Amino acid sequence: MIRVTENFRKIQDLLAKAAADAGRPADHIRLLAVSKKKPLEAILAAASAGQRDFGENFVQEGIGKIAACGRDDLTWHFIGHLQANKTKAVAENFQWVHTVDRLKIARRLSQQRPESMADLNICIEVNVDAEEKKSGVSPAELPDLAAAIAELPRLRLRGLMCLPAIRHDFDEQRKPFAALNAMSKALQASGLELDTLSMGMSADYAAAIHEGATMVRIGTALFGAR
């Protein structure tokens, strides 16, 4: 588990460097450690190195880890595809959901979020490359969805998330992230208070940071291959 600690330090340095290259303060970028399919020990190692935010893709696996680690010191983000029959479990356990892409799901999360818990933080997933097989709302439908979600009780709309098609060239990687940033700015201009751009993973975090990412979701570079 020494490797998780080492990787954590290395990633902190890489994120700081990417921020400096982009002319942004490093503390504007939050590292979300994607721990899917990784054992509890890996999470605990990262937590003892100072990591606080963890992302999980599978509801049952995530709930098990939340039960074991608790929510007092750690913040748990659901970043997987969310089906309607799983919204209750997510609403009752996680603090963030990054993958809301339709109103039905948002309404269920709103109704199912326990009153005793803080508002559930929401990012809307946008299908930036209009990929047929990918989740996410289309850019055209985003404004209406965002306005509707912002009205729902017990949810707090924080921002946008994307998972672009794989690109290898840095300048190509920047394009979908720049597009998501522009959508966020347009929503802000329409009066929504958004503070989160959840974009960038192990292979494209630098491009995402260049285009304004406030949260990068890193799995492989931190915990090794899955």
Ligand X SMILES: *Cc1c(COP(=O)(O)O)cnc(C)c1O
Tell me which DSSP letter residue 92 carries: T
Among 57, 93, 127, 173, binds ligand X (CB under 6 A): 57
Work out how close the CB of 190 gets to ligand X at its nearest, in angstroms, rounded to a whole number: 26
Chain Cα centroid distance, residue 17 = 21
Estimate to the nearest angstrom the gap between the alpha carbon of 81 and the chain centroid. 12
CB-CB neighbours of 119 under 10 Å: 15
Using CB under 6 A as the criterion, what x/- string covers residues 4-43 for binding ligand X? ------------------------------x-x-------
Out of 3, 28, 220, 224, which residue is the one contacting ligand X (CB under 6 A)? 220
Instruction: Using the minimum distance from each CB to ligand X, give the nearer residue, 210 or 217.
Output: 217
Nearer to ligand X, 129 or 154 (CB): 129
Helix (H) or strand (E) holding 111: helix 103-112
Is 79 a binding residue for ligand X by CB under 6 A? The answer is yes
Q: How far apart are CA 126 and CA 178, in angstroms?
A: 13
CA gap 126, 121 in Å, rounded: 16
Cβ proximity to ligand X, 40 vs 166, nearer residue: 166
CA-CA-CA-CA torsion sign (73, 68, 55, 148) = negative
Q: Are 104 and 87 in contact (CB under 8 A)?
A: no
Please report, to the nearest 10 degrees, the dihedral formed by the alpha carbons of residues 92, 52, 181, 121 taken in order: 20
CA Rg value for the chain? 17
Q: Which residue is nearest to ligand X (CB)?
A: 219
Looking at residues 175 to 204 of the shown chain, list those that interact with ligand X (rule: CB under 6 A). Answer: 201-203
- By CB under 6 A, is residue 217 in contact with ligand X? yes
- State the minimum distance, in angstroms, from the CB of residue 147 to ligand X: 24
Q: Is 83 in the site for ligand X (CB under 6 A)?
A: no
Stretch that binds ligand X, among 44-52, 141-149, 150-158, 214-222 (CB under 6 A): 214-222
Question: Helix or strand or coil: residue 9?
Answer: helix
Which whole-number Å values give the CA distances from 226 to 47, 153, 177, in the listed order?
Answer: 19, 37, 25
In whole angstroms, how close is the CB of 22 to ligand X at the nearest point? Answer: 19
Q: Which of 163, 194, 206, 213 binds ligand X (CB under 6 A)?
A: 163
Nearer to ligand X, 98 or 210 (CB): 98
Taking CB under 6 A as the rule, does residue 218 contact ligand X? yes
Footprint of ligand X on this chain (CB under 6 A)? 34, 36, 57, 79, 163, 201-203, 217-221
